[in-house]
């Protein structure tokens, strides 16, 4: 299992197996070859240092994929604190988790 953080270090969720979940264990997508795909089949970004999901701003996104069947609901892991973030500029990459800022239930 990997804990996933925003670039500012705030805990966001986790990866268990090849599945990506938010802090409440809501399934958000899956992982294939270091790429993180959303539940709707769109590419979210790339797994970076096994704790961040970053989006390449200059690369055209690939064609969406057919999503797999969501996994059986899981219990969220216990996590107590955030980490020191990775706010340093990584050329042509941004925090991909910003897409979830518009969703009320996360």
- Residues in a beta bridge with 13: 4, 22
Contacts of 92 (CB under 8 A, 6+ apart): 56, 57, 58, 59
91 pLDDT band (50/70/90 cuts)? Answer: confident
Model pLDDT, residue 88: 65
Q: What is the pLDDT of residues 37-71, one digit of tens each?
A: 999 999 999 999 999 999 999 999 899 999 999 99
Is 5's pLDDT higher than 60? yes
Structural domain count of the chain: 1
Print the domain residue range for 9: 2-102
Lowest mean pLDDT among 41-50, 70-79, 89-98: 89-98
Q: How distant, in Å, are the alpha carbons of 14, 51, 94 from that of 71?
A: 14, 21, 28
Does residue 106 or residue 57 have the better pLDDT? Answer: 57
């Amino acid at each position: 299992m990997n804990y996933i953080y925003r670039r500012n270090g705030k805990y966001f969720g986790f990866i268990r197996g090849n599945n990506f979940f938010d802090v409440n264990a809501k399934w958000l997508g899956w992982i294939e070859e270091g790429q993180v795909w959303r539940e709707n089949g769109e590419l979210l970004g790339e797994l970076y240092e096994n704790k961040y999901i970053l989006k390449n701003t200059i690369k055209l996104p690939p064609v969406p994929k057919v999503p797999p069947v969501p996994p059986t609901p899981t219990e969220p892991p216990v996590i107590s604190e955030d980490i020191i973030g990775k706010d340093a500029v990584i050329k042509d990459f941004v925090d991909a988790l910003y897409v979830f800022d518009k969703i009320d239930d996360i």
